[in-house]
Amino acid sequence: MDKFILFLRRSKSLLGTISENTKIHLVLGNESCDLDSSISSLLLGYFHSIQNPENIVVPVLNVSQENFLLRTENCFVFKEAGLDLEHFVYRDQIDFKQLCEKCKLTVSLVDHHILTNNDKILEKYVTEIFDHRPVDSSHVWDTDKVTVRIEPVGSCSTLVTDVILKRKPDILTCPLANLLYQTIIYDTVALRPELGKAKPLDIEVALNLEKTYNFLAKNRQSVCDSLWAVHNDISALSPKQLLYKDMKVIESFYIPGLPILVEDYLKIPEAHRAIVEFAVENKTNCVLLVGLDVTAGKVRRDIGIYSTTKEDRLKAALLNVFDDNPDYDFQFEHRTTAFDDDMYLLHVHNIKLSRKQLVPVVKQACAKYTNL
């Protein structure tokens, strides 16, 4: 772990010494900055620093340092591994515009393959992509210039682990391998086949790590359960902080992921007020909340659509796409809440439907919205 920590400290310190012709390679995770995105970015960055020692390689956690502290499972895993959060580079600590203007810049995208509007400036510098979400056809990358690996696996860490094991396995000390292993187990819900999260490559890579590093298969569920318990520990978070804890932005559509059902979130005092304030702060009239509860191995999901008016066009477009989408069997059930004037709650009976699979649906709705 000492070499990895030295890499992190060196990357952050060298950011302050850049000059013209400095070769910098950024490894940028997605804006939700969940455990998978964080671990994938850090380990792929470390891999590139070994493969290309002439470059300054900087993994970027794509969230402010303040908001990173809301990712309870991330903080837990890094603390257990002996990693100081001060060693990481956060989105609010780096100036992409300055790097584009001053350096010889290249970029890897990890756990996403479409840049947000805030990061579009990096587009022409992207040379590599690792992702596991559905392909977004709104932007087609030139594969003569960009190495693209997008596969429907349960965890992006699976793809990163796979490339490291095949090309530079000796850099994976047991503690580093454990970071990747825990993430894969967590993302695939202990590789349980009935939940449909674990794909063949997830299983192959996890089994390889278990065999090589003596991780015990019988402990998969306990690894998953412990991380899920930390993820669900919201005792120190306010209702508004919960909205920022695991948030994605798709086409300017804000999608907070909650570690509890939306139905239960709305029962927390001041939760509804927090949603209203969240919408105002982010200058949006419509917010899509995605809830998830896993208790005793049973998965439950729901979604809530907040809109400032019942006739909100974006909400109408979203519901229209939900009702008329042959690609997904949502199995929605409308439920009432104490806030039916501005909140539309849907229970999801198809437990295999994740927020990742909602992304193309949201994009369809946004396209319909612009044409309404």
222-270 tens-digit pLDDT? 999 999 899 888 888 999 999 999 888 887 789 999 989 999 999 999 9
pLDDT tens track for 108-129: 999 999 998 889 999 999 999 9
Give the span between the Cα atoms of 42 and 193, in whole angstroms.
Answer: 28
Q: pLDDT class for 358, splitting at 50, 70, 90? A: confident
Q: What pLDDT, on the 0 to 100 scale, is given for residue 133?
A: 87
Structure tokens at 333: 């059930």
Q: pLDDT averaged over the chain?
A: 91
CATH superfamily of 239-371: DHHA2 domain (3.10.310.20)
Banded pLDDT at 357 (limits 50, 70, 90): confident
Half-sphere exposure of 304 (CA within 13 A, CB side): 27
CA distances from 238 to 114, 270, 291, 301 (A): 31, 9, 16, 22
Picking from 157, 150, 153, 162, the residue whose alpha carbon sits closest to that of residue 182 is 157
Q: What are the angstrom distances between the C-alpha of 295 and each of 59, 222, 242, 331?
A: 34, 13, 19, 21
Given this model, what pLDDT does residue 370 score? Answer: 62
Which are the contacts of 334, defined by CB distance < 8 A and separation ≥ 6? 344, 345, 346, 347
- CATH 3.10.310.20 domain span(s) along the chain: 239-371
The answer to whether 18 and 99 have CB atoms below 8 angstroms apart is: yes
Tell me if the domain spanning 2-225 has CATH number 3.60.10.10: no
% helix, strand, coil for the chain, step of 5: 50, 20, 35
pTM for this structure? 0.84
Model pLDDT for residues 160-219, shown as the tens digit of each residue = 999 999 999 999 999 999 999 999 999 999 999 888 889 999 999 999 999 999 999 999
pLDDT confidence of residue 325:
67
Full DSSP string of 170-226: GG--HHHHHHHHHHHHHHTTTT-GGGT---HHHHHHHHHHHHHH---GGGHHHHHHH
Among 4-13, 137-146, 157-166, 171-180, whose mean pLDDT is lowest? Answer: 137-146
- Which residues partner with 58 through β-bridges? 26
Answer whether residue 352 shows pLDDT above 80.
no
Residue 359 has pLDDT above 80, yes or no: no
